[in-house]
Structure 1
C-alpha cells in the first residue's frame, strides 16, 4: 500500500494531501479504496508532532477550513494536524445515492475507521500520534484506545465518551429522558412555545402542507427539529423559527412559505444521507453481541410519554419534539433518504459480533487522555460518559455545564487549550 502525497500552500500553511489504498474489509482485503487525509503544517512546524482529527457524525467528512480558527487554530500551535476523511465520506470513497452499495454500510463503523487510521500512521512512518475527536470522533478514539493504545501519544475528546456498558435501547432511554428535561427548561424560558409547537403539529395532522422540495410535511417529521435542543443556541433558534409560522391566504390559515423553507432545510438529509443511514449502527453489539439494533430509537420512543410517534398535540398529555434519533419512516418521507431505505433496513437487522470497545484494554493500556464532558448533553449523556472516563487508565475530565454538545462551535480554542493544560499539568 503506497502512500501518495501532494503538497501546496494555502492559508499560511503547508498542506499535504495524502492518499492511501486500504481494504474495505480488513479481514478480507480483496477490495480497496483510497483513504484521503489532509495534513496542515504551520509555518516552521515541519518537525512538530502529529495530531489526527476524527470528525463527529458518523457519515461526515473532515472539516474543509477556509480560515484557521477554533480547535484547529489552537491545535496548530502544538501539532501538525491531519484531517481524516472517514471511509465513505468526502474524498475517501464517498457513498451517496449514486454509488450506494448496501454491503458496505456495515463496514463504516468506528472499528473500521480506526484500522484505516492505523494503516495511515504506519504509512507516514510515525511511531505515535495524538488524537482529537468531537462526538462520534471520540467514539473512534475510544475504539483506537481499545485496539492500538501503543500508537497513541495522547488523546483529546469533546462530547465524545461513548457508553461502554449500555445497549442501544438503554442508551436511547437515557437520551429521551435527557431530552425531556431539556424540553422543560425550553418551555420555562419560552412559555408560549409549547402551545405553538402543538398548534403547528395539529395543523399538519389535519392539513396538506408541502415543503419546497415537493413532499408533504408530517408532524412527526417536523418534530425532529428537537435536535436543536442539544445545541448551544438551539432554544433561541427554535423560538425564532416558531414565532410566526402561519399566514392567511385567501381566508385560509396556512403555514408561511418562509417557515416551510426554513423547516425544509433542517429536516432534509440531502447534505448527509449517510449519517441517517448508519447512525444507529454505531451502538450495535456493545452489550448484546450478535443482536441487531432493530430501530432502537423508534421502539424506545413508544415507551416514553410525550415522545410517541402518534402523540396527540391536542391532548393534555406531554408532547415533545425528538432529538438525535433516526426513525425508519424518515426513509420514506425524506426524498434524500428514499434510495437508502433497503440498505438502512438491512443494517438495522445486521448482527454485530462484538463491541467496538474493550473495557479491559482501556483500564490497562489506554494512553493519557483529556475529555470535555458536558453535564447537560442530550446526545452523549453525562452519566455514561463519566462511567467511561472512570474506565480509562488515565483520563482527566473537564466537566462543565457552560456548553451543550456543540461546545467546540461556541469556544473550541478555549476548550482545546483547557484539555491541553490537563494533559500537561500531570
Structure 2
C-alpha cells in the first residue's frame, strides 16, 4: 500500500479483488480501488471506518485535495475510504475502449447488468471484511450513493454502524416512468427560476437553439451539439451555482466574424466537458437501470415521458415564440448518437433498456424494522431526486431522521463544507 501526504491529510492507496458476479464467487475477479484518507493529526489513531459512495451512477469517488468540502470534518472521527465503485475510476473501468473485450452488444449488456447498486454493496462487504476485520462501518452516500446505502440497509444492516445520506433517498417502488413523470415539473421550475433571475437568457437561449436547429455544431473531440444536446445543459441547474454557471455560458455564446455571428470557440469548448460522457459513460448507459426492478423494462423512460410535457419540445417553443426549456438529469437515445464516447455503446444501451430480469433493490419489510442509526439530508425541490419520494421512503425506514433544507441544492454535501456531514452525524448520534 502506497501512502503519501496532502495538506493536513495522509492518503493510502488500497487495491482489493472481488467477484465480477457475486453469484459466482469462484469465477472471474475484478480489481477495486479505494483511497484511504486520515487526518495527519490522527494518522496512527485507531479510528472507525467510513466508506464514501459517490453519486452517479458511473462516477468515480471525488478527487479531493487536502481537507476539501466535508472531508476535513469526517477525518476528525473516521478513517475515510473514498471508493471508486466498480466500473469507475481505477476500479475495472467500463467504457467504449474496454467493453469490446467482452464481445458483442449482448455480452456487454449482460456484463454491465452486474454493475448496479446490488453488486456495489456486495463489493463493499468484501472490502469491509478486509479493512475492519468484520466490524460494522459507517456509510456516507451522496445521490446515487444514497441509493446504494438504502440497498445496503435492505440487505446487510448488521454490517452498518451508521448511515448518512445526502440527496439520495430513493423511491422504494417507483418505476422509471414514475421517476421522470415527477422529474420534468421539477426541471421546469428550475428553468423558470433561472429565467426569472436572468431574463436576458431567454433570448440568448432561443438564439443559440435557432442557430443549432439550422446547423448543429461539431465540438472539439467530435461531439455533435444539436438543439436537444444544448437543452441538456440544464443538468447544471441542480447545483447551487448552476444557474450562474449557465448564465455565464450563454452570455459568451457568439462572436462576430467576417461571415456574421457564429458560435464562439470559447462557448463550444466550455460546453463540451459538461455534455460529454467520456469521463463517466456508465452514467448514461446505466442511468435508467438504477431504477429498474420487478420485471418491467425501462425502455427509454425519460424519452417516452418527455412527450407528456410538450413545453420541452424545442421546435414547438421556437415556433410559438416561447422560452426554450432546458432539460436535466435525463438520458435519451440521441445521447448515443451525438457523443463519440457513447456511439459504440448504442446497441448495448438498447439491450439494457429492454431488459426485464432486474432483481429487486429494496426490502421494505426489513427497512421498516431497521435498527441502524440513519440520518438523511433532503434538499427541498431537489432537481435530481424527488423530495416527495425521499420523504415517503424516510417514513418507511424505522428510526431514520431527516434534515429537510432549502439552503442547499443537490450538491450541498460539497458546497456546505463541513456543515451537512456535521449535521447528519449529530442527528444520527441523537445530539440534536
Shared fold by TM > 0.5?
yes
Alpha-carbon distance in 2 for matches of 1:69, 1:215: 32
CA shift at 1:425, angstroms?
Answer: 2.5
1:295 aligns with 2:300: yes
For structure 2, the residue ranges without an aligned partner over 5 or more in a row are 103-107
Aligned pair partner of 1:342 in 338, 347, 353? 347
CA shift at 1:64, angstroms?
Answer: 2.6
Evaluate the alpha carbon distance shift between residue 15 and residue 212 of structure 1 in structure 2; reply closer, same or farther with a 3 A threshold.
closer
CA shift at 1:351, angstroms?
Answer: 1.4
- Tell whether the 8 Å contact from 2:88 to 2:280 is kept in structure 1 after alignment: no
Evaluate the alpha carbon distance shift between residue 339 and residue 423 of structure 1 in structure 2; reply closer, same or farther with a 3 A threshold.
same
Aligned pair partner of 2:418 in 401, 404, 413? 413
1:321 aligns with 326
1:179 aligns with 2:187: yes
Counterpart mapping for 1:364-375 below 5 A? 364-375=369-380
Aligned pair partner of 2:168 in 160, 170, 183? 160
- Tell whether the 8 Å contact from 1:307 to 1:322 is kept in structure 2 after alignment: yes
Aligned pair partner of 1:25 in 21, 40, 46? 21
Alpha-carbon distance in 1 for matches of 2:16, 2:165: 26
Counterpart mapping for 1:87-106 below 5 A? 87-100=86-99, 101=102, 102=108, 103-106=110-113
Alpha-carbon distance in 1 for matches of 2:54, 2:306: 28
Alpha-carbon distance in 2 for matches of 1:108, 1:215: 26
Aligned pair partner of 1:37 in 15, 34, 37? 34
1:222 aligns with 2:230: yes
CA shift at 1:235, angstroms?
Answer: 1.1
- Tell whether the 8 Å contact from 2:9 to 2:66 is kept in structure 1 after alignment: no
1:272 aligns with 280
* Deviation readout 1:363-382 (Å, 9 max, x if unpaired): 11251111111002010111
Evaluate the alpha carbon distance shift between residue 37 and residue 212 of structure 1 in structure 2; reply closer, same or farther with a 3 A threshold.
closer
2:105 aligns with none
SS at match of 2:141: strand
> Does 11-20 or 63-72 show the bigger shift?
11-20
What is the root-mean-square deviation in Å for CA atoms of aligned residues? Answer: 1.7
Give the TM-score normalised by structure 2.
Answer: 0.92
Counterpart mapping for 1:9-408 below 5 A? 9-11=4-6, 12-29=8-25, 30-42=27-39, 43-44=41-42, 45-100=44-99, 101=102, 102=108, 103-124=110-131, 125-285=133-293, 289-308=294-313, 310-316=315-321, 319-408=324-413
* Deviation readout 1:249-293 (Å, 9 max, x if unpaired): 2242321221122122221112222211111110111xxx11111
Evaluate the alpha carbon distance shift between residue 263 and residue 9 of structure 1 in structure 2; reply closer, same or farther with a 3 A threshold.
closer
Alpha-carbon distance in 2 for matches of 1:419, 1:373: 11
Alpha-carbon distance in 2 for matches of 1:104, 1:366: 35
Alpha-carbon distance in 2 for matches of 1:223, 1:366: 44
* Deviation readout 1:51-92 (Å, 9 max, x if unpaired): 111111111111233322221111001111111111111221
SS at match of 1:17: strand
SS at match of 1:112: helix
- Tell whether the 8 Å contact from 2:216 to 2:227 is kept in structure 1 after alignment: no
Report how many residues are paired. 418
Evaluate the alpha carbon distance shift between residue 146 and residue 209 of structure 1 in structure 2; reply closer, same or farther with a 3 A threshold.
same
Alpha-carbon distance in 1 for matches of 2:385, 2:242: 16
SS at match of 1:236: helix
> Does 87-96 or 372-381 show the bigger shift?
87-96
- Tell whether the 8 Å contact from 2:252 to 2:266 is kept in structure 1 after alignment: no
For structure 1, the residue ranges without an aligned partner over 5 or more in a row are 1-5
